[in-house]
Amino acid sequence: MTSTEQRSALYRTIRLIRRFEERAMGLVASGDIVSGIHPCIGQEAVAAGAAAALGPDDVMLSTHRGHGHFLAKGSDPGQLLAELLGRDNGVSRGRGGSFHPSDFSRNIYTATGTVGHSAAIAAGIAWTAQQDGTGQVVLCFFGDGAVSQGALLEGLNLAGIFSLPVVYLCENNRYATTLPAEYAIAGSVPGRAAAFGLPSEVVDGQDVEQVLAATGRAVARARSGAGPSVLQVDTYRYFGHHTFEQKVRLKYRSDEELAYWRGRDPLRIAGDRLSEPTRAAIEAEVEQALEQAVQFALAGDRLTAAAAQDHTFSGGTRPRPGVAGDA
Amino acid sequence: MPKLSYLKALNRALADEMERDDSVFVMGEDMNFALTNTTAGFRQRFGPSRVLEMPLSEQGFTNFATGAAMAGRRPVVEFQIPFLLLLVFEQITNQANKFRLMSGGRASVPVTYLMPAAGVRSAWGAQHSDQPYSLFAHMGVKTVVPATPRDAYGLLLTAIRDDDPVVVFGPLDCLGLREDLDYAELVPIPLGEGRVHRSGTDVTVVAVGHLVQSALAVAEELGEQAVSVEVFDPRTIYPFDWAGLAESVGRTGRLVVFDDGNKFSGLAAEILATAAEELTLLAPPRRVTRPEAAMVGANPGLDAGLIPTTDQLREAIQRVLK
């Protein structure tokens, strides 16, 4: 049973992610966020439920569609938004951007752009935790597009042979950019898990409480030393792969399909479990938090060419300059 | 004084560092039997969790090392064949080496990639014979190619202690090289510091890896003909010791590069370009490298036409002296 307090917290996270993404899409439209973003609207319950199953010391690896993961793990919305804006007060000092941020204060180590490659990075982190007996679990997010990457399968194998404390969470939003999962995947995600001797579950990703329960089981298993497992969490993104689709309007999904998933809105499903006043109070608080976040982010310093090679290496080693060769 | 082989120097550096620092471990294929001999005796000495056997999943275990490094370890990943570094080129250049930058300096990925048999393995085939150190330099990954046992020890030690990814190439033709030295002389050698093996006044030969010994032999021989050759070994390919090169060329005014990499866009090309841009030369510089494109690697007769030779070096030196 989920308490009202837990339900409120889960709803708050979903609401925060939804409104964060909406504000971010506004800042894309206004030209402030130059990169565009990969909005996770429609998928918020996956991040919210999965992160709620973790402790603060547990490690998370995110993806290019990762803002929800960060917010759910407790990243500061202002610093995250500043990162999207490429400002120096961003969570990665403006060098990760929307696509590849990290937040070491929340144990989110990376959102690597090489799809599926986080699986073995997660195994390496989990192996270290296992060796040191820290009790940490690593939650590794990836999408349905990643499950045909060899490197992901190598990661599952490594996690399997060392029986590592990892939870592999496939956020199945049914499309790798434009490519439907049913075209791309021979067999299935549970089938891939079974091939490596790993248990798996298929989960309704629109219902945050089901995501929390399933991830909780996988995390408990990992923490107990029983090894890795795989979750296929079914969900849907309400917008394009990337905000450039706001302009190009690629038609790879039917209106009926979109309407079906709109009808299974994770925000509404979680919100319906709360009383109207509770919901309204959370919404007001989230609006206030986001207003502060936007102000904080927009007040950050813009980065300039002079800082382009900062942080390339440790210990003050600097690469030779290129264009400004005489510097 | 004891004679230390290059391979034994790598073994000793790795063991000393594993003894000194619990966060260092070595991983790779056929670790249980120390196939390359780099880790001979380690399994018994350090146990299986610090001499980690890996399946044939090079991309997977290279990423695994990245994860372990971000979690506080200092993995040393051994590869048996140079092309495996091409298979994991993306994982090293686009992931491990960018995570510091992408995190605004907050991530640290101290992995050492050790390739203890780099270069042509005669008749082992085209796919076993590459020498891809220039590629890593091109992508801005710290890269070292020690030429002597002492340098192999000191540079491997420094590579392991460095907080960034470092690729260490041990040329196959160096592995058997022996050097008389006192073990007390074995110390860390900073990255980015070249070494003048032989002073000279007429021409600077920049030689890399196993070609250092060949260059020294040519230098001795030409010395008898009153040609004074300075042999400069950069030791680190990236970051390169440009100041050391400038100093050497300042003395000699002439430059030949002797590099076992491919010609096109290779290390020698970079050195010549920098020399042309920034140094004062008395004659156009020259390079002696592999030709462009692929090695045969399967036939010693054919390979003779692909490997840079001392005859070519001699000729190049004579041309810059004309």
pLDDT over 90 (residue B211): yes
Average pLDDT over residues B108-131: 90
Chain A residues touching B191 at Cβ < 8 A: 317
Mean of per-residue pLDDT scores for chain A:
96
Query: According to the model, what pLDDT value does residue A325 have?
Result: 53
Yes or no: say if B85 and B75 are a contact pair by the CB < 8 Å rule.
no
Which one of B75, B102, B191 has the shortest CB-CB distance to A96? B102
CA angle in degrees (0–180, nearest 5) for A180-A258-A202: 60
Chain A residues touching B57 at Cβ < 8 A: 120, 154, 157-158
The chain A residue lying nearest B166, using CA atoms, is A313
Query: Would you call B128 a catalytic residue per the annotation?
Result: yes
pLDDT in tens, A203-246: 999 999 999 999 999 999 999 999 999 999 999 999 999 999 98
pLDDT over 70 (residue A1): no
Query: According to the model, what pLDDT value does residue B300 have?
Result: 85
Average pLDDT over residues B291-314: 89
Query: According to the model, what pLDDT value does residue B2 have?
Result: 81
pLDDT over 50 (residue A182): yes
Chain B residues touching A327 at Cβ < 8 A: none
Minimal C-alpha gap between B56 and chain A (Å): 9
pLDDT in tens, B150-167: 999 999 999 999 999 999
Q: What is the ipTM of this complex?
A: 0.96
pLDDT in tens, B52-108: 999 999 999 999 999 999 999 999 999 999 999 999 999 999 999 999 999 999 999
Minimal C-alpha gap between B266 and chain A (Å): 17
Chain Cα centroid distance, residue B120 = 14
Does the distance separating the beta carbons of A102 and B99 come in below 8 Å? yes
pLDDT in tens, A241-264: 999 998 888 999 999 999 999 999
Does the distance separating the beta carbons of A119 and B140 come in below 8 Å? no
Query: According to the model, what pLDDT value does residue A326 have?
Result: 52
Average pLDDT over residues B198-206: 98
Interface mutation vs chain A, best among B51, B103, B108, most A CBs within 10 Å: B103
Which one of B61, B69, B192 has the shortest CB-CB distance to A120? B61
Spell out the SS3 assignment of chain B.
Answer: CCEEEHHHHHHHHHHHHHHHCCCEEEEECCHHHCCCCCCCCHHHHHCCCCEEECCCCHHHHHHHHHHHHHCCCEEEEECCCHHHHHHCHHHHHHHHCCHHHHCCCCCCCCCEEEEEEECCCCCCCHHHCCCCHHHHHHCCCEEECCCCHHHHHHHHHHHHHCCCCEEEEEEHHHCCCEEECCHHHCCCCCCCCCEEEECCCCEEEEECCCHHHHHHHHHHHHHCCCCCEEEEECCEEECCCHHHHHHHHHHHCCEEEECCCCCCCCHHHHHHHHHHHHCCCCCCCEEECCCCCCCCCCCHHHHCCCCCCHHHHHHHHHHHHC
CA A258, CA B174: separation in Å to the nearest integer? Answer: 63
B243 has a chain A CB within 8 A of its CB: no
Does the distance separating the beta carbons of A320 and B67 come in below 8 Å? no
Does the distance separating the beta carbons of B105 and A311 come in below 8 Å? yes
Which one of A104, A114, A319 has the shortest CB-CB distance to B94? A114
Token pair recorded at residue A290:
């986001």
B68 has a chain A CB within 8 A of its CB: yes
Does the distance separating the beta carbons of B72 and A109 come in below 8 Å? no
Average the pLDDT over each of B203-207, B277-281, B301-305, B316-320 and give the range with the smallest value.
B301-305
Average pLDDT over residues B201-209: 98
Average the pLDDT over each of A31-45, A141-155, A309-323, B258-272 and give the range with the smallest value.
A309-323
Minimal C-alpha gap between A114 and chain B (Å): 8
Query: According to the model, what pLDDT value does residue B128 have?
Result: 87
pLDDT in tens, A297-311: 999 999 999 999 999
B282 has a chain A CB within 8 A of its CB: no
Phi–psi pair at B26, nearest 5 degrees = -115, 145
pLDDT over 90 (residue B117): no
Torsion angle (degrees, nearest 10) of CA B102, B104, B107, B109: 60
Q: Which residue has the higher pLDDT, A298 or B128?
A: A298
Secondary structure (3-state) at A89: coil
Query: According to the model, what pLDDT value does residue B315 have?
Result: 97
B29 has a chain A CB within 8 A of its CB: no
Query: According to the model, what pLDDT value does residue B228 have?
Result: 98
Average pLDDT over residues B181-196: 95
Q: Which residues pair with B4 in a beta bridge?
A: B179
Query: According to the model, what pLDDT value does residue A327 have?
Result: 44
Chain A residues touching B91 at Cβ < 8 A: 114, 117, 151
Minimal C-alpha gap between B154 and chain A (Å): 19
Average pLDDT over residues B298-311: 89
B128, B138, B197, B210: which is the annotated catalytic residue?
A: B128
The chain B residue lying nearest A309, using CA atoms, is B101
Does the distance separating the beta carbons of A161 and B71 come in below 8 Å? no
Percent of chain A with pLDDT over 70: 98
Instruction: Tell me which residue of A69, A6, A14 sits closest to A44, measured CA to CA.
Output: A14
Chain B residues touching A118 at Cβ < 8 A: 63
Does the distance separating the beta carbons of B163 and A96 come in below 8 Å? no
B109 has a chain A CB within 8 A of its CB: no
Does the distance separating the beta carbons of A319 and B140 come in below 8 Å? yes
- The pairing of strands B112-118 and B195-198 is unpaired
Average pLDDT over residues A24-36: 97
Does the distance separating the beta carbons of B57 and A154 come in below 8 Å? yes
Which one of B67, B100, B163 has the shortest CB-CB distance to A125? B67
Does the distance separating the beta carbons of B101 and A311 come in below 8 Å? yes
